[in-house]
Structure 1
Amino acid sequence: MSQHEQSTKAVAVKYDQGAAPSISAKAEDELAQEMIALAEEAGIFIHKDEHLCEFLQKMDVGEAIPKELYLLIAELIAFAYVLDGKFPEKWNGMHEKIMEEV
């Protein structure tokens, strides 16, 4: 790899309700490209953020996300749910109103 080529990096975050989000997988270069391709095939939400990825790459697989990142990760998880057509019960049809306006 030349100096001008950037390596590909990927980190998977897992969230089980009632527990802190954690790192479930991470990879670099060809393995990261394969990880991304498999996620795309499975319809898994992919968020591209070079700085967040660099930080999460420093963590161990299985390690919980630090509290300082909870809000950011929660927003990404919530966004992924909305993209998947899942909405909180408290929205009481709010998403339907939004879709009507769009």
Structure 2
Amino acid sequence: MGGKRRKKAVALKYDVQDIAPKVVAKGQGFIADKILEKAQQQKLPIYKDEEVVEKLYNLEIQQYIPEDLYKIVAEILIFIGYLDKIAKNETNA
């Protein structure tokens, strides 16, 4: 029986003094909707990738991401930084 999968969301936080990004919120269904809503309200970037979310969802709140996720999360952070740079250039133009 292939029921509809519930939406999941995971929020990460990274400070340069941290050893790695860490999970600061996660949830599914209604909670996932609230996490996404809060991110939109704060104009935080949202990256959608079910496979990455599944891996991150298995982590605990305040847990640093494991080394096997460093590469993909680094690529996401670089992409987000690139989007931020474009947005800043457009607002300064």
Normalised-by-shorter TM-score class: 0.7 to 0.9
Q: How many residues align?
A: 86
Gaps of 5+ in 2: none
Greater RCO, 1 or 2 (C-alpha within 8 Å, sep 6+): 2
User: Identity of counterpart residues, as a percentage?
Assistant: 33
Aligned-partner Cα distance in 2 for 1:81–1:57: 23
Match of 1:69 in 2: 69
What is the aligned-residue RMSD (CA, Å)? 1.9
In 2, Cα distance between equivalents of 1:68 and 1:80: 20
Q: Which has the larger radius of gyration?
A: 1
Whole-angstrom CA distance in 1 between matches of 2:17 and 2:78: 15
Instruction: Identify the residue that residue 27 of structure 2 maps to in structure 1.
Output: 27
| 2:4 corresponds to | 5
Q: Following superposition of structure 1 onto structure 2, how do residues 1-102 of structure 1 map, counting pairs within 5 Å?
A: 4-19=3-18, 20-85=20-85
Name structure 1 gaps, 5 residues minimum.
87-95, 97-102
**Alpha-carbon distance between aligned partners in 1 of 2:76 and 2:48, rounded to the nearest angstrom:** 11
